[in-house]
């Protein structure tokens, strides 16, 4: 491995000493776009199963199947488990249960990341992530009970959490622009995941067949990593000319992913603690943003039920998820247009969003579901902007030797906020449904 790094450094030095050795501009441009598209697809594929499980949460908890019935659930179930006398049309269990199954394994993985998980070789982690994503679709599709379905959701969580830690750490060795592409891809996963589940079920496809149709996504993740990305070179991820020193071969042909220039494995505990304290000004706002938005998504979406519309309860829930993800995608793709340094302002606005919608659940003062649609779209815009700007700011402000550790550590923020929201949304659901 040391020889690989040494050879790469010599090539880079040779290019500087002799401009004739520099790769042609078209080669550098090709490398840039391969990495940009590669990270966009990795973001898309990594978050896809996680998003689909949240979009299917209402269907999973509405799961009622007679013996011998091979479909997972009807596209628009009217389960006996609903409390039809409640103005909220409550499930017996909150959709926050699916959220917790979809996020707690991710939380464990991200807690382990700063302790050494991120130092494991990249390729086995990516392979594990892809296998878990495929397993989640298969297990939920063929499940005969809510419990088995939740085990499938756990697999999706393991895939997403392991992938996020892996790929965010990997961005430390590429041009800083790939953070924007990764973030846009994760936003695209939200939009395409929610939209595909909504569209296919609205078209009459059963949730079982809808989930099975998505098995190509894990395969695309593996292809993007092993065949599309070029191996990283020892570079400063700050400028636009970094691609000059990047390798021109796909990762499958190189051992470079296991080589860690400026690796955080050399950081002492004191250095890690110092870096962590400096990250708190980004971690705390991101935790608050995700706490507020997922308290809305998995605690209030199910309770924001309008009876006098052409949409069933299950369809309303799916539309809420899709519009939220549309807002996330738009804002995660907006970094080149709008850079927000003070992310605490986004946390404040998201908390106000939560207070407003919680008041509406209690008082029912919003006259139309279309107003809720607009608020949810705005909620997604705030959440996506907080995510992409947080990691962009960290990439700008951390030194190269600390960047990999900083990325792996900060990615716990969203998961911690989501986990806290799920824990609080469960008793809120029971309390409101008992009152109504």
Residue 201: CATH number of its domain:
1.20.1250.20
Answer yes or no: do 211 and 99 share one domain: yes
Answer yes or no: do 175 and 285 share one domain: no
Asked if residue 261 is part of any domain, the answer here is no
Answer yes or no: do 276 and 228 share one domain: no
pLDDT, residue 23, reads 56
Range of the domain at 51: 29-63+90-232
Answer yes or no: do 40 and 109 share one domain: yes
Answer yes or no: do 158 and 212 share one domain: yes
Rounded Cα distance, 246 and 35, in Å: 10
Residue 367: CATH number of its domain:
1.20.1250
3-state secondary structure the chain: CHHHHHHHHHHHHHHHHCHHHCCCHHHHHHHHHHHHHHHHHHHHHHHHHHHHHHHCHHHHHCCCCCCCCCCCCCCCCCCCCCECCCCCCECCCCCHHHHHHHHHHHHHHHHHHHHCHHHCCHHHHHHHHHHHHHHHHHHHHCCCCHHHHHHHHHHHHHHHHHHHHHHHHHHHHCCCHHHHHHHHHHHHHHHHHHHHHHHHHHCCCCHHHHHHCCCHHHHHHHHHHHHHCECCCCCCCCCCCHHHHCCCCEHHHCCHHHCCCCCHHHCCHHHHHHHHHHHHHHHHHHHHHHHHHHHHHHHHHHHCCCCCCCCCHHHHHHHHHHHHHHHHHHHHCCCCCCCCCCCHHHHHHHHHHHHHHHHHHHHCCCCCHHHHHHHHHHHHHHHHHHHHHHHHHHHHHCCHHHHHHHHHHHCHHHHHHHHHHHHHHHHHHHHHHHHC
pLDDT, residue 47, reads 92
Answer yes or no: do 341 and 282 share one domain: yes
Tokens of 341: 């340094």
Answer yes or no: do 278 and 212 share one domain: no
- Which one of 216, 232, 248 terminates a domain? 232
> To 10 degrees, what angle do helices 412-435 and 96-112 make?
160
Answer yes or no: do 215 and 284 share one domain: no
Asked if residue 199 is part of any domain, the answer here is yes
pLDDT per residue of the chain (436 residues) written in tens, 0 to 9 = 433 333 333 344 444 444 444 556 666 777 888 999 999 999 999 999 988 987 787 777 765 433 344 444 444 544 434 444 556 667 666 667 777 888 889 888 888 876 767 668 889 999 999 999 999 999 999 988 888 888 999 999 999 999 998 998 888 889 888 988 998 898 889 889 888 988 898 888 888 899 999 999 999 999 999 999 987 755 444 444 443 333 334 444 444 344 444 455 577 888 888 888 989 999 999 999 999 998 998 888 888 888 888 888 878 888 998 899 889 989 988 887 888 888 999 999 999 999 999 999 988 899 999 999 999 999 999 999 998 899 889 988 888 888 888 888 888 888 899 889 988 888 887 888 777 5
pLDDT, residue 436, reads 59
Asked if residue 252 is part of any domain, the answer here is no
How many domains does the chain divide into? 2
Tokens of 45: 């594929």
């Amino acid at each position: 491995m040391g020889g690989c790094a040494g050879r790469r450094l010599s090539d880079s030095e040779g290019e500087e000493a002799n401009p004739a050795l520099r790769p042609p501009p078209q080669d550098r441009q090709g490398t840039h776009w391969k990495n940009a598209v590669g990270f966009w697809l990795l973001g898309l594929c990594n978050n896809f199963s996680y998003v689909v499980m949240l979009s299917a949460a209402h269907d999973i908890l509405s799961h009622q199947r007679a013996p011998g019935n091979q479909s997972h659930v009807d596209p628009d179930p009217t389960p006996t488990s609903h409390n039809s006398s409640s103005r909220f049309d409550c499930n017996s269990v909150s959709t926050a249960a699916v959220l917790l199954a979809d996020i707690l394994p991710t939380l464990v993985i991200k807690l382990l990341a700063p302790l050494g998980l991120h130092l494991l070789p990249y390729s086995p982690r990516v392979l594990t992530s892809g296998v878990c994503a495929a397993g989640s679709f298969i297990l939920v599709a063929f499940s005969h009970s809510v419990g088995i379905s939740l085990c499938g959701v756990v697999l999706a969580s393991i895939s997403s959490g392991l992938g996020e830690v892996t790929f965010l750490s990997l961005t430390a060795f590429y041009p800083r622009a790939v953070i924007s592409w990764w973030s846009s891809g994760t936003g695209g996963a939200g939009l395409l995941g929610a939209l595909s589940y909504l569209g296919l079920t609205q078209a009459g496809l059963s949730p079982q067949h809808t989930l099975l149709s998505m098995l190509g996504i894990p395969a695309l993740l593996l292809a993007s990593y092993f065949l599309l990305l070029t191996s990283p070179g020892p570079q400063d991820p700050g400028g636009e000319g970094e691609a000059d020193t990047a390798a021109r071969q796909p990762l499958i042909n190189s051992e470079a992913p296991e080589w860690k220039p400026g690796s955080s494995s050399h950081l002492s505990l004191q250095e890690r603690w110092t870096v962590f304290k400096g990250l708190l000004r980004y971690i705390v706002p991101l935790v608050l943003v995700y706490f507020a938005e997922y308290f809305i998504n998995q605690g209030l979406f199910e309770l924001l039920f309008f009876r006098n519309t052409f949409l069933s309860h299950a369809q309303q829930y799916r539309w809420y998820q899709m519009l939220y993800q549309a807002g996330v995608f738009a804002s995660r793709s907006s970094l080149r247009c709008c850079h927000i340094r003070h992310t605490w302002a986004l946390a404040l606005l998201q908390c106000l969003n939560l207070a407003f919608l919680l008041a509406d659940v209690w008082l029912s003062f919003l006259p139309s579901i279309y107003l809720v649609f607009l608020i949810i779209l705005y909620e997604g815009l705030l959440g996506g902007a907080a995510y992409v700007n947080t990691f962009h700011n960290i990439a700008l402000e951390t030194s190269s030797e600390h960047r990999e550790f900083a990325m792996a550590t900060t990615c716990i923020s969203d998961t911690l906020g989501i986990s806290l929201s799920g824990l609080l949304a469960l008793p809120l659901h029971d309390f409101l449904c008992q009152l109504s």
